[in-house]
Amino acid sequence: MKSITIKGSKRESVGKVATKALRNAGMVPCVIYGGDKPVHFSAEELAFKKLVYTPNVYTATINVDGEKISAILQDIQFHPVSDKILHVDFYQLFDDKEVTMNIPVKLTGTSPGVLNGGSLRFTNRKLKIKALPANLPDYVSADISKLKIGNKLTITSLFNDDYTFMHPDNTVVVQVRTSRNATNVDDEDEDETTEEATPEAAAE
């Protein structure tokens, strides 16, 4: 998984007055959990732009006064009116310890059911997986090239040895449902119909 680097400075004080002063200066108070003890630091709000305001998922390499810590975003608080970032919690990563993350799903291929007028329902755009940091994927690939009208793609079709899905096996990821414009005609049937109709059309 790709990583975003965030440069921060350790916080000497974590009280309300110091926190307010940081925010007034355009800085965001942060904490890294998961290690021997929490690491309190602050960073510029702009440093979180690529980590927060994106549909993609990244790990974070946090450089706190020269010390680099690998972590993932655990929680983030926004101002209810201005949407400014108020506080960010991270969870430290270790090479030999599995971590749980919500990973985006990327659809590949073209569904024949959609070509026949079916409606594609992308039910779960992100899936929770558990894996070692080295095995965290940028996205989970879901092939929809065999989905006809009425077909579903469940978690069992996406199993991977590198990570574990934290969902029931029957969880539906994507499905093709019928619609008013649906024909329910398979690709092979369409080819046969075209071949049979061509001579008649030529005769006319």
What confidence tens digit (pLDDT) does each residue in 85-129 have?
Answer: 999 999 999 999 999 999 999 999 999 999 999 999 999 999 999
Q: What is the mean pLDDT of the chain?
A: 87
The predicted structure's pLDDT at residue 182:
59
Q: Taking the model in full, what pTM does it have?
A: 0.78
The residue range of the domain holding 120 is: 100-187
C-alpha span between 88 and 84 (Å, rounded):
11
Residue 37 CB coordination number (10 Å): 7
The DSSP call for residue 187 is: H
Q: Are 148 and 189 in contact (CB under 8 A)?
A: no
Q: How many structural domains are present in the chain?
A: 2
User: In this model, does residue 191 exceed pLDDT 90?
Assistant: no
Q: Is residue 197 part of a domain?
A: no
Q: What is the CA radius of gyration of the chain?
A: 24
Residues 131 and 167 both lie in one domain: yes
User: In this model, does residue 166 exceed pLDDT 60?
Assistant: yes
Check which CATH number belongs to the domain holding 144 and give it.
2.170.120.20
User: In this model, does residue 194 exceed pLDDT 60?
Assistant: no
* Amino acid at site 160: N
The predicted structure's pLDDT at residue 15:
79
Burial class (CB in 10 A: 0-12, 13-18, 19+), 144: buried
Task: Work out the percent of the chain whose per-residue pLDDT is above 70.
Answer: 88
Residues 68 and 112 both lie in one domain: no
Check which CATH number belongs to the domain holding 67 and give it.
2.40.240.10
Which comes out higher in pLDDT, residue 130 or 192?
A: 130
In which band, very low, low, confident or very high, does the pLDDT at 193 lie, cut at 50, 70 and 90? very low
The predicted structure's pLDDT at residue 183:
60
Which comes out higher in pLDDT, residue 200 or 21?
A: 21
Decide the pairing of beta strands 59-64 and 3-10.
Answer: parallel
